Amino acid sequence: MDLELDYPFKLLEYFNGFRISKVIFSACELGVFDLLLQSQKPVSAAEVAQNLGTSGDGMERLLDVLVGIEILEVEHTEGTAYYSSTDVANLYLAKSSPKSLHDMIIYQSQTIYPLWNTMVDAVREGKNQNEKTFGLSSEDIFSAIYRSDEEMLKFMGLMNSTWVIDGHDVVTAFDLSGFKSVLDLGGCSGGLARELAKVYPASAVTVLDLPNVVQVAKRHFSEGDAAVHFQEGDFFDGDIPAADLYILARIIHDWKEDKCLQLLKKNHSCCPPGGGVLLVESLLFENRRGPIMAQIFSLNMLVQTEGKEHPPSYYMQLLNRAGFQEVQVCRTGKSYDAILAVK
Ligand code: SAM
């Protein structure tokens, strides 16, 4: 018998998924994980509340859910609960950790969460809701994403934090050591480019992005790091500099097919024989029945962009049409996969 018919456990868990997300997001925004990391000993809810300027009751309830979902731990001494972080919370949720996903959480909480309120209309109309929500053209997707300095910085923080956990797997999916000059087109904060430069120190790595993005990347993300160079430009408009390898990470999934083909043809004509392009995307299975995160990303693309996620065969055909014959696919088993096409 299907247990769900007797009582809809799974459905209820799904309905409440957004509440779990919001518990983690709120704790992050309030600075709970940073405080617990800094304090050398378990802390009571009253102390956390006092330090973070919140109500004692609200903080206690928040901490208790975090214990319930095993993100925090608790011990009781003389009737008082004392909370401490788990290793996972210290590593990924505290802002000061080198593997912090704090910026990813802030963007999910403050931008993606309200944006997903437009999902019904986005599905009904089959397009993003930038016009209705922000009064900005639904085709000029980066004007909407970068609608304020604050939004630009938050988006770049999101892009950057992905590569803290996925960057190494992506840049080692193939041996890229033979490519001596690498141009990361739309490389944003330079997060992936930095991971690449770490693994292939003999390669010259450059990020090309829109002028204001490059300025913010240099100011906020490059940390005086000389391993990656930045160049202002527009990959659709005009020529792009020659390089042995072009990286397009999370670029193809943003745009309609004609623009993607135009960009890939440009890459093909600008790279030397033996040069190539590395696509980095979250790959759907060929039958599109998963992975669930790629399916969810595809829905996110509907809400925010003009593109979608695809299975490997789609990218292979597109690359073939752009002139690349030799195409290899590597699923990393993490959120992002890699496709290498050689001229
Ligand atoms: N590749 C980065 C990554 O995966 O972290 C960023 C991906 S983000 C989805 C798309 C990037 O393309 C943004 O950094 C954006 O500024 C850049 N971009 C959009 N239109 C562009 C254009 N016409 N020329 C150059 N970069 C562009």
Choosing from 220, 229, 253, 268, the catalytic residue is 253
Domain boundary among the residues 77, 93, 109 is at: 93
Question: Tokens representing 51?
Answer: 């330090």
Domain boundary among the residues 64, 93, 122 is at: 93
Residues 170 and 89 in one domain: no
Domain that holds residue 174: 166-342
Residues 79 and 205 in one domain: no
Query: What are the strands of the beta sheet with 245-249, ordered from one edge?
Result: 228-232, 204-209, 181-185, 245-249, 276-281, 337-342, 326-330
CA–centroid distance, residue 44 to ligand 1 (Å): 44
Q: Name the 3-class secondary structure at 243.
A: coil
Q: Is residue 140 part of a domain?
A: no
Mean pLDDT for back-to-back runs of 10 residues, the chain (343 residues): 88 97 98 96 98 98 98 98 98 96 97 96 96 86 96 98 97 98 98 97 98 97 88 95 98 98 97 97 98 98 97 98 97 98 97
Mutate to test the pocket of ligand 1, among 111, 210, 308 (most ligand atoms within 8 A of CB): 210
Query: What is the maximum span of the chain, computed from C-alpha positions, in angstroms?
Result: 73
CA–centroid distance, residue 249 to ligand 1 (Å): 8
Q: How many domains does one find in the chain?
A: 2
Q: Is residue 229 part of a domain?
A: yes
Residues 212 and 321 in one domain: yes
Give the domain CATH number at 49. 1.10.10.10
Please list the alpha-helical segments (H only) found in 217-330.
257-270, 292-304, 312-322
Q: Is residue 208 part of a domain?
A: yes
Write the pLDDT tens digit of every residue in 254-283: 999 999 999 999 999 999 999 999 999 999
Please list the alpha-helical segments (H only) found in 69-217.
87-88, 102-107, 113-115, 119-125, 130-134, 141-145, 149-171, 191-199, 211-216
Residues 191 and 313 in one domain: yes
Residues 312 and 190 in one domain: yes
Give the domain CATH number at 250. 3.40.50.150
Question: Tokens representing 46?
Answer: 């009253």
Residues 170 and 86 in one domain: no
Q: Is residue 106 part of a domain?
A: no
Q: Is residue 107 part of a domain?
A: no
Write the pLDDT tens digit of every residue in 196-225: 999 999 999 999 999 999 999 999 998 777
Domain boundary among the residues 40, 73, 93 is at: 93
Q: Is residue 148 part of a domain?
A: no
CB 176 within 8 A of CB 192: no
Residues 190 and 87 in one domain: no
Q: Is residue 250 part of a domain?
A: yes
Output the pLDDT for position 1.
63
The amino acid at 238: G
Residues 79 and 182 in one domain: no
Residues 197 and 338 in one domain: yes
Q: Name the 3-class secondary structure at 235.
A: coil
Is 268 one of the catalytic residues? no
Q: Is the ipTM of this complex over 0.90?
A: yes
Residues 213 and 299 in one domain: yes
Closest CA to 158 of 214, 208, 205, 102: 102
Output the pLDDT for position 138.
82
Question: Tokens representing 167?
Answer: 């960057």
Q: Is residue 289 part of a domain?
A: yes
Residues 78 and 176 in one domain: no
CA–centroid distance, residue 251 to ligand 1 (Å): 6
Residues 176 and 320 in one domain: yes
